[in-house]
Amino acid sequence: MRRVVAAALLTVFAGSTAHADVTEADLANDAENTTSVLTNGMGRHLQRYSPLDTINKNNVKNLVPAWAFSLGGEKQKGQETQPIVDDGVMYITGSYSRLYAIDAKTGKEIWQYDARLPEGILPCCDVVNRGAAVYGDKIYFGTLDAKIVALDKKTGDVVWSKKIANFKDGYSYTAAPMIVDGLVITGNSGGEFGILGEVQARDAETGELVWTRPMIEGHMGTYKGKESTMTGKLNATWPGDLWKTGGGAPWLGGSYDKETDTIVFGAGNPAPWNSWLRGAGNPKGTEGDNLYAASRVAMDPKTGEIKWHFQTTPREGWDFDGVNEVVAYTDRDGNKRWATADRNGFFYVLNREDGKFVNAFPFVKNISWASGIDENGRPKFIEDNRPGDPSKAADGKKGEVIFAVPSFLGGKNWQPMSFSQKTGNFYVPSNEWGMDIWNEPVTYKKGAAYLGSGFTIKPIFEDYIGSLKAVDPDSGEIKWEYKNSAPLWAGVMTTAGGLVFTGTPEGEFIAFDDETGEKLWSFQTGSGIVGQPITWEQDGEQYVTVISGWGGAVPLWGGEVAKKVEYLNQGGTLWTFRVPKELASAN
């Protein structure tokens, strides 16, 4: 561990009487309080919408940098963080499990924490970190060796550090933690290694484990150190013993709806990828559904007991993780809903009270694995577009190769969408691509890749891959679309000023008109943007921040697409913008 302290700033910070502890009420009101950003998603509902309108369609053209902060050094791979802003201090995470405290007014560093990572960490998809969580007098974040760390937010000193799982078995952790009623709630990563997906809740003050909830049926949850209830029913949808190494990592983190007191986590792909081994290629009843992988699972935040689940891709065979964020919102008719844009290419709307299926529709083009979604929310599979069974191949080594759309990196991957309370639309960062995919024999070995598949990602259109879409969740209509040459891998934010902010791998940070999709402003950051923008108010001025730093899964797993973007430069710069007061009223 290495910690750098700017002494003068730290002295002022530590002695400030204004720096109050963050409470549960503060977290609950985060979406409405414009002077801070205390939660991942700008509210635990994950809408990523700000009521601020000082910066708007008329004056966004006057947006200029206020300051920039370099992460420094050579540890510059993908920068996917969402900043947290608390009492004038901005907290960001960086690649290789770093955490920074920065003066939000000036951009000067207050302190820096570097996790001491061991040799042999096994992150599948770059050494990224997606953000921190703040509560009380502490700041929390996860590390690539599958730990959750609590730091004193004034000094950066370690208060406690707990192991989520054993990194040597293939586990890691990259998401922002979530805090509900004094519990720090985390998932885990490692779905490509035959791990067990699990959600854990710890006492925020001590780090002691309160409850655990496995994501794969047959495994027992715990509550206060004792077994609680089994997830699902043993062997109901899994054949043999494959449930023991069944994957289902909830690697992206969760959302929380206070009205129903419900947390929802998405579970990733079942393991191995070869669906024939899991009974999904030739199912008997629901045997091959492999619950609760590729599902959204709703839980009681106090106990971890499952309230309901919805599986977006039963019989999963294309690595369509079900982790994509589930956003709590109210539709135009006043109905309380959940919405999620899945890797499988379909956008789903669920009832917020009980998770019942309401509607689904495609949000990307040329989906090949299913012809649609039936009235129960189940895919209408196109069986000829499942990768072939290698046991039926002449050599027994490689099943029939098929071309599938979308690719396993998804119609939408981890990059969060935004819901605008102003327009009632979602703004979805999607990608139009496909893949050659085939199945292979595989056996489980602890800590080794457990796929049983091969693949090559390919573009499906000559002129673009990335597509930012304005989606009407009521009708399924695509209101407008912005096409981008490279894949989109950054988060989206909307504001009451009628703006949609996101970034591109080519380095552009862009503001769009939320109604028309017109590009109103852009700024070249110098490296690809795969981070998550935020906005907040300080001293009567509205600020907008995003991190720039190319990386993530695309250059590592992108096949022919990766070759298309290999010229892009890595980096690590946090950019903060403002409209000068004298120009804020300009038209």
List C-alpha distances in Å: 181 to 28, 49, 128, 163, 167: 10, 23, 27, 21, 28
Helix (H, G, I), strand (E, B) or coil at 61: helix
φ, ψ dihedrals at 290, nearest 5°: 60, 55
| 575 bridge partner residues | 68, 546
Instruction: Return the H-helix or E-strand segment holding 90.
Output: strand 89-94
63 touches 520 (CB < 8 A): no
Closest CA to 459 of 561, 363, 562, 559: 561
List C-alpha distances in Å: 245 to 170, 271, 279, 324: 11, 7, 15, 22
- CA 455, 461, 464, 465: dihedral to nearest 10 degrees? -30
Q: Which amino acid is at 542?
A: Q
Q: Which amino acid is at 237?
A: T
Whole-number Å distance between alpha carbons of 523 and 543: 15
Structure tokens at 92: 């960001």
544 touches 533 (CB < 8 A): yes
Helix (H, G, I), strand (E, B) or coil at 34: coil
Intra-chain end-to-end CA distance of the chain, in Å? 50
In the chain, what are the helix, strand and coil shares in percent, each to the nearest 5? 10, 35, 55
Cis upstream peptide for 292 (omega within 30°): yes
Catalytic residues: 319
439 touches 272 (CB < 8 A): no
